[in-house]
Each structure stands twice: as structure tokens, then as C-alpha cells.
Amino acid sequence: MTTTFITGGNFKCTVAPCADSSAIYYILLPMPMEAAILEDLAVRHEASIVAVEGFDWDDDMTPWPAEGVFPGDATFKGKAAHTLERLRHFVLGRVEAYLGIPDPVRTLVGVSLSGLFALWQWTQCDLFRNIACISGSFWYDGFAQWFEHHLLEPKPGTAYFSLGKEEPYTQVKRFQPVALATKAVVAHLKDAGIHTIFEWNNGNHYAPLLPRLERALDALPARGAVQFRSSAPA
């Protein structure tokens, strides 16, 4: 049975608990996901599933300001650092107190811009043992170059990436570098000795999310079998 509540910072969290598991998947979503789907994922993957909504998607998921994708679009405001602090202070503590998990194995799952956010935050802190970036927006202005020159600290977790086979062939020129950027990200992580998985999916950026999400969760070793003391939310 899922529980939904609003936390500080205006986040809406829908929680599907899994008893006897220290693993929690936090999924950052641009739209709601049905409670029955979350409950099924929790059972199948032996982990509590937390769907988090309430973002200003273009601004809260981006690491620095950039021009909008199309002429006339609002600029991306680059509020990722603020979003990370809001998650730390308003989501993790309340969710984990509700679940009664004092020492969780956390995984952060993002799609599109929240996939970009998931990787970026992994360079800033150790709140999450694993990350999954589904069609991550690594085309974002300057990101691949910044990441390639970012000194990576050793991490014990897994980074999972997937991309649609049709995504590099989009008509939107701004998005076309996404495959090269994703491959560069994956190579940099592997060079740093971080366990990294990359998969191609069928379809484009807007292919149905659930099959891609299930593939990501299948690939991640986040069921709590590996004990890891993650950073506690302040």
C-alpha cells in the first residue's frame, strides 16, 4: 500500500514500502506514476520505491544557467544545487523516518533532465550509493566538457545509463550530441574505476518510461545485499 505526503519544500512523495529491505529507490519524476506500478516495482525489486514530484523541471534539474532549447524559450536557471539541499533537508529524513530505515542503501533514478541531475549530484555528495540515468540530458550546455575534466572521487556504487537508439537522430540540433556526451560520461566513470553500465533501448527520448525504468532497476545492485553507510541527511 502506498502513502503520499507533502514534505517541506513542496515536494510530493509517494512511498511504496518494502519490509525487511534497507534499499530505497528515489525516482525523480516529471509526472505522476500510478500507485499500483510503484507497489509492483517495490515487490519485484525488493526495495522501497519513492516517487518524488514537485519540481520546476527546467530550472531545478539543471546545474548552471543556459539558454532555452528553442528561440523564445525561457532560459534554464540552473538551480540543481538548491534542489539537492531541498532533497537532503525535506525528503530523505522524512521518508526514511516513515519507513523506519536508519541506514538505507539509497539509489537515485532520473529521466531526461533529472537523469542529468542524478549524475551531477553524484559528483557533489555521497547521499546515494547508486544512480540510474535514463536518457539523461547530457547534451546540456558545457556538461560533457565539465564532467570530462571533473576529478572523480572513488565510489563503491553503480552508475547505470540508458539511451534510446533513435535519440542521436533527433531533428533538434541541441539534442543531437547526446550519444557522444553519454559515451564520454561513461568512459570517464570507467576510467575512474567506478562500476558503470550502459544500455541502448529501442525508440527515442519519449519512448514509454516504464520498460526503461524496469531495465534500470533490474541492472542495479540496490537490494540492500551490500551494506553501505550513506551520508545522513542534515
- In a domain? residue 229: no
Total domains in the chain come to 1
- Strand-pair partners of 25: 49, 107
Give the model's pLDDT for residue 223: 53
- In a domain? residue 29: yes
- Reference 51, options 34, 74, 64, 67; nearest CA is 34
- In a domain? residue 227: no
- In a domain? residue 131: yes
Q: Is the pTM of this model over 0.75?
A: yes
Cα dihedral across residues 121, 85, 109, 128: positive or negative: positive
pLDDT 10s digit of each residue in the chain, 234 long? 899 998 888 899 999 999 889 999 999 988 889 999 999 999 999 999 999 999 999 999 999 999 999 988 999 999 999 999 999 999 999 999 999 999 999 999 999 999 999 999 999 999 999 999 999 999 999 999 999 999 888 889 999 999 999 999 999 999 999 999 999 999 999 999 999 999 999 999 999 999 999 999 999 975 543 333 333 333
Give the model's pLDDT for residue 3: 94
DSSP assignment of 61-92: T-SS-B--SSTTPPPB---HHHHHHHIIIIII
CATH for 7: 3.40.50.1820
Q: What is the three-class DSSP state of 76?
A: strand
- In a domain? residue 234: no
Cα dihedral across residues 44, 50, 51, 57: positive or negative: negative
Q: How many CA atoms lie within 13 A of 67 on its CB side?
A: 5
Range of 95's domain? 3-219
CB of 26 within 8 A of CB of 108? yes
- In a domain? residue 231: no
What's the length of the chain?
A: 234
- In a domain? residue 108: yes
CA angle 167, 118, 177 (to 5 degrees): 30
- In a domain? residue 139: yes
- Reference 78, options 57, 92, 53; nearest CA is 57
Residue 108, φ and ψ in degrees, nearest 5? -110, 125
